[in-house]
Amino acid sequence: MNSFYSITFRKSSFFTCTAQYPTRECETKSPSQGSKSRADSPPRHVARLLAVSLFDWDVILKMFKSPSFCGVNLSRKPTTTVTQSSTYTGTIFHNASLATDGTNKTTERFCSHTDVNHTKAWFQVDLGGKYSIKSVKIFYRREGDRESDWKQYRFRQFYLEVSQAPANTTAQRIRCYKDNTNASALPKNIIDIPCVQTARYVIVETTYEATEDDEYNVYGAILEICEIEVYGKWLPDSNLVL
């Protein structure tokens, strides 16, 4: 379950800046009992509203370094930017920002969409700096459960990678996940992927061409990401950008 925590900075009584970020709950094991217990992120003893000086970074960093802090959704951070390899401009302009607007509905009008007739399609989240990433959750287009409803055919064989360089370069990446679904099956359209890495860029990419598109005379690799959530935290030795 996602919730929100506010962090308020006060340099003086005349200046106040408040930032809200979605957080996620995680499960931790109790060392004494060996059972699972739910931990809020940040920890429960941290007040929902922190009033600190702009120079009291150590207070914030201690909170984010806590083992029970599972991370905020970095995709919604104001300084995060998203881009995609191309943009489909049918009846709706399916730009990349639709995948980080906080709406996880999976029908077409809520989704980003790369253009047709390309051999490769990618979607990139630029966090603006190095972050400690924990996991990535993707909501892919799916219209419904009826046989005639549009399904996540184009999501087969996608891969999730992280890097210190953008998707349009040949820089080395670290792969966190590769889908191996073949043409006779469907991958999950909502998938939560562990990706414990330090990186700036999170990249979803595919070269898969769905045979179901043939009847529509549509060809090429296509991505239709409705929402992407990158969970992680700020690195202690990095510049804290909120």
Res. 61 pLDDT band, cuts 50 70 90: low
State whether 17 and 101 are in the same domain.
no
State whether 109 and 160 are in the same domain.
yes
Which of 70, 94, 115 finishes a domain?
Answer: 70
Residue 104 in any domain: the answer is yes
Average pLDDT over residues 54-68: 52
Determine whether 91 is exposed, middle or buried from the number of CB atoms within 10 Å of its CB (0-12, 13-18, 19+): exposed
Which of 48, 70, 92 finishes a domain?
Answer: 70
State whether 21 and 115 are in the same domain.
no
Peptide bond into 42 cis (omega under 30): yes
Q: Determine the residue type at 240.
A: L
Q: Is the pLDDT of residue 241 over 70?
A: no
Number of domains in the chain: 2
Q: Which DSSP string corresponds to 28-61?
A: EE-TTT--EEEE-SS-TTS-SEEEE-TT-HHHHH
**178-236 per-position pLDDT tens digit:** 999 998 899 999 999 999 999 999 999 999 999 999 888 999 999 999 999 999 998 77
State whether 177 and 193 are in the same domain.
yes
0.85 surpassed by pTM: no
**140-193 per-position pLDDT tens digit:** 999 988 887 889 999 999 999 999 999 999 899 999 999 999 988 999 999 999
User: Tokens 């562990």 appear where?
Assistant: 194
Which of 70, 97, 128 finishes a domain?
Answer: 70
Average pLDDT over residues 34-63: 45
Q: Is the pLDDT of residue 3 over 70?
A: no
Residue 239 in any domain: the answer is no
Instruction: Give the C-alpha distances (Å, rounded to integers) separating 119 from 85, 112, 115, 116, 209.
Output: 11, 18, 11, 9, 8
Residue 241 in any domain: the answer is no
State whether 63 and 151 are in the same domain.
no
Q: What is the CATH number of the domain that holds 131?
A: 2.60.120.260
Res. 93 pLDDT band, cuts 50 70 90: confident
State whether 66 and 100 are in the same domain.
no
Residues 6+ apart with CB under 8 A from 228: 75, 82, 99, 100, 123, 125, 136, 137, 138, 139, 202, 204
DSSP state of 91: S
Residue 120 in any domain: the answer is yes
State whether 60 and 82 are in the same domain.
no
Which of these, 148, 141, 77, lies nearest to 109 by C-alpha position?
A: 141
Contact 14, 24 (CB under 8 A): no
Residues 6+ apart with CB under 8 A from 217: none
State whether 102 and 215 are in the same domain.
yes
Domain, as residue range, for 173: 75-234
Q: Is the pLDDT of residue 90 over 90?
A: no
State whether 107 and 204 are in the same domain.
yes
Which of these, 28, 127, 8, lies nearest to 70 by C-alpha position?
A: 28
Both tokens of 194, joined, read: 């562990």
Q: Is the pLDDT of residue 41 over 50?
A: no
Q: Average per-residue pLDDT in the chain?
A: 79
β-strands 2-12, 49-52 pairing:
parallel
State whether 132 and 222 are in the same domain.
yes
State whether 92 and 109 are in the same domain.
yes
CA atoms of 37 and 169, how far apart (whole Å): 43
Both tokens of 201, joined, read: 């860029």
Instruction: Give the C-alpha distances (Å, rounded to integers) separating 157 from 54, 97, 182, 207.
Output: 45, 23, 8, 8
What H or E segment, with its residue span, contains residue 63? helix 57-65
Residue 240 in any domain: the answer is no
Residue 134 in any domain: the answer is yes
